[in-house]
Amino acid sequence: MAYFKINQELIDPEKAALLKDICPFSAISSENGRLEISAACKMCKLCIKKGPQGVIELVEDEEITLNKDEWRGIAVFTEHNKGEIHNVTLELIGKARELALVTGHPVYALMLGSDIKEAAAKLLHYGADKVFVYDYPELADFKIDLYTNAFSDFINKVKPSSIMVGATNLGRTLAPRVAARQRTGLTADCTRLEMKENSDLVQIRPAFGGNIMAQIVTPKHRPQFCTVRYKVFSTPAPLEHFNGELVLLELLPEQLQSVYEILSIEEKPREVDISEAEIIVAAGRGLKSKDDVALIEELAKLLGGVSACTRPLVENGWFDPKRQIGLSGRTVKPKLIITVGISGSVQFVAGMRNSDCIIAINEAENAPIFDVAHYGICGDLNEIIPQLLEMIRGEQEHGL
């Protein structure tokens, strides 16, 4: 990265005043005979082109040389709870297999914990070529410093080209710290991934409130690091035959010394996670008042599902933010989703378009949601929902 160097010994009041006048962004200031350039600088270089010669210089960093052949493999961090593997890990292994077809790289899984060898072996059934395991009592509970040590040790020993971590609470905590330790970039909350033949990973994520999809590459650094949203990829079917290998890695005693001490662990009451729901009734701006929310929740309860919403209803205070679907909310993949009063913005559709069955209810017959719905009902929700409730209750009473 280039930067400006100021030769302070060449500064006098006249030159300082001239440079301040030249800068169109007011990024240059002078105090006690010393010139400063602030973060407002846009690197337009007018200060060099039109300013006093030699006072400000553009310094180019040395070109980073990277031998990409030294970095090989697509690695997935395994999130688990006492050996129970989070499904986002399996989704990422499935995606890693697809990406590996482009480069011919192996697929790795990394698992940290205590007494986890048996659980780690399950990952071989989903297509991991090698599962690297750090099995220590000190790793039984999540301690950020020890997990960072083990993760970094894995990278230094194995040198994977790309690393994927689930964008869960744990993943969002761990991945930035490991990426910083490795002095590489991190793309957070990816919703799509593509691979180039030269092993550059194209990391695609929403930006500017979901109005654009940014494509990010890290061509001069390895490993390439990203966190990926849950439910954006499909879980692969387990393989009947596999040739994978379980590899145990070791840490030095000092790498297992933590500055943290866990005094107690309290389990939080389990909250509704719409990402896991198989049936969702989602409400949008078409709801006229907060009283309409009761209809949505009643329908969801009757179907054995959960209620969800779009961003405006969260902003209205009618729903908890954890119930929001879309690029700025949760990604869902239920067997059935019924959208009520939702127009179908790009941001919302990106968060639910992979649902098995989509039923849309909307007054506007040209609403974009009908373009992605499998079934559409055009009409007033206050007329349609009560009829649906009555029909479902009738069928349930007759055991249908």
CA gap 197, 387 in Å, rounded:
55
Identify whether 334 is preceded by a cis peptide bond (ω within 30 of 0). no
Q: What does the pLDDT read at residue 288?
A: 87
**pLDDT of residue 367 exceeding 90:** yes
Q: Among residues 352, 201, 207, 341, which one has the least CA distance to residue 279? A: 352
Q: In the chain, which residue ranges form alpha helices assigned H by DSSP?
A: 13-22, 46-49, 87-103, 117-121, 144-158, 169-181, 291-303, 311-315, 346-349, 369-372, 381-397
Give the residue-averaged pLDDT of 3-24. 91
Q: What does the pLDDT read at residue 347?
A: 87
Alpha-carbon radius of gyration of the chain? 27
Give all domains of the chain, ordered by start, each with its CATH number.
3-59 (3.30.70.20), 68-256 (3.40.50.620), 274-397 (3.40.50.1220)
Residue at token pair 């933010």: 321
Give the residue-averaged pLDDT of 242-250. 94
Q: Which two tokens stand for residue 131?
A: 């599962």
Sign of CA dihedral 159, 161, 165, 170: positive
**pLDDT of residue 396 exceeding 80:** no
Taking only the tens place, the pLDDT of each residue in 154-180 is: 999 999 999 999 999 999 999 999 999
Average pLDDT of the chain to the nearest whole number: 93
Q: Among residues 247, 116, 223, which one has the least CA distance to residue 165? A: 223
Q: Check if the beta carbon of residue 376 is closer than 8 Å to that of residue 364.
A: no
Give the residue-averaged pLDDT of 190-198. 95
| pLDDT range class, residue 394, cuts 50, 70, 90 | confident
Which residues make beta-bridge pairs with 378? 362
Give the residue-averaged pLDDT of 35-43. 91
Give the residue-averaged pLDDT of 186-214. 90
User: Which amino acid would we find at residue 22?
Assistant: I
Q: What does the pLDDT read at residue 395?
A: 78
Q: Check if the beta carbon of residue 85 is closer than 8 Å to that of residue 119.
A: yes
**pLDDT of residue 400 exceeding 60:** no
**pLDDT of residue 271 exceeding 80:** no
Using CB atoms within 10 Å of the CB of residue 253, give its burial: 0 to 12 exposed, 13 to 18 middle, 19+ buried.
exposed
Q: Quote the percentage of the chain above a pLDDT of 70.
A: 98
Q: What does the pLDDT read at residue 64?
A: 67
Residue at token pair 């590899």: 247
Residues with Cβ within 8 Å of residue 9, at least 6 apart in sequence:
none
Q: What does the pLDDT read at residue 245?
A: 94
Q: What does the pLDDT read at residue 31?
A: 85
Q: What does the pLDDT read at residue 268?
A: 80
